[in-house]
Chains A and B, each alone.
Chain A
Amino acid sequence: MACPDFEELIRQGPAGHAAHCDDCRGRLEAWTEIDGAFTSAFADVSAPAGMAAAVRARVAREVPLRPPSILPEALDFIGWAAVLALAAVLLPQLLLRLGIVLIR
């Protein structure tokens, strides 16, 4: 692309500088033709008709996704509660015995 005005010419269209410059006019025509070829080739590309149905069928075969279970958290809570309850029962007795031993 020898002509530095080429980009501007694209915006101006063939009525501008290209009308007087053979080189630019040729490139502008080529550019237009390329644009037309790609527009007609790709403008209407969309997902194939059966694609969404195929995806739904694949997803239906997947293991159903559920929200994360609260069971691990519940078991965790029960476990810690049991530890604390045990400590609450045993610790005073332990301290009591320790105190008696110290007094003697």
Chain B
Amino acid sequence: MAEDFERIVREFQDRIFRLAFSMMGDRAAAEEAAQDALVRVWRGLPGFRAESSLSTWIYAITRNTCLTALRRRELPADSLDEPAGRRAAERNTAAGWQAPPTADAAALLDLLPARYRQVVALFYMQEKSYDEVARMLDLPIGTVKTYLFRARRTLAEEFARSRARQGGV
């Protein structure tokens, strides 16, 4: 069993971390949640009956671990329809997308509702694979495509508007 777990760590640690990152919004919280998820995987491994695929099981554990961590935060989890840009400034500092490598991407993501933000981040982390994102989030692939299209459309409009404003000044 130890070898099975070692293989899981090697094979899934990046994807578990990315899924956690897309849900938690910052690297430190994502690492903590990813570690917790892997420990839960270890505990659950003897009882894993292969009724679902291993990856489905691992992703479900990761999502549940992140949701528990988000609930544990004093701040409420993102409302699915709440544009992140309207959140309070201190909330952005505590749990927002301040961690991604470039400020531009962080600012863009902050313009999106949480459900789009998560799909967009995961899509780019997972080498633009609709299929993998759908599996990781347990969403139909059509939903992933719709969320991505709407998110990009929103961002492109915002981008074009801001350019027009700059051009007009």
Contacts and interface: CB of A to CB of B under 8 A. Distances in A.
The answer to whether A binds B is yes
Interface of A: 1, 7, 26-27, 30-31, 33-35, 37-43, 45-48, 51-52, 54-56, 58-59, 62, 65, 67-68
Contact of A48 (B1, B17, B43, B127): B17
A33 B17 contact: no
B38 interface: yes
B156 A55 contact: no
Contacts of B157: 1, 27
B46 A37 contact: no
B5 A59 contact: yes
Interface stretch (B51-59, B65-73, B98-106): B98-106
A103 B1 CA distance: 67
Interface of B: 1, 5, 9-10, 13-14, 16-18, 21, 27, 31, 34-35, 38-39, 42-43, 45-46, 100-102, 104-106, 108, 120-121, 124-125, 127, 149, 152-153, 155-157, 159-160, 163
Interface of B is mostly: helix
A38 B42 contact: no
A59 to B, nearest CB: 5
Given A41-B102, A65-B1, A34 B35 contact: no
Contacts of A67: 46
Contact of A34 (B42, B100, B156): B156
A63 to B, nearest CB: 10
A43 B160 CA distance: 24
Given A48-B31, A52-B9, 4 more contacts: A1-B157, A33-B159, A37-B102, A47-B34
21 contacts: A1-B153, A27-B156, A30-B159, A31-B156, A34-B155, A34-B156, A34-B159, A41-B101, A41-B104, A41-B105, A42-B100, A42-B105, A43-B125, A46-B18, A52-B9, A54-B35, A55-B38, A55-B39, A59-B39, A59-B42, A65-B42
Contacts of B45: 65
B160 A26 contact: yes
Nearest to B17: A47
B17 A31 contact: no
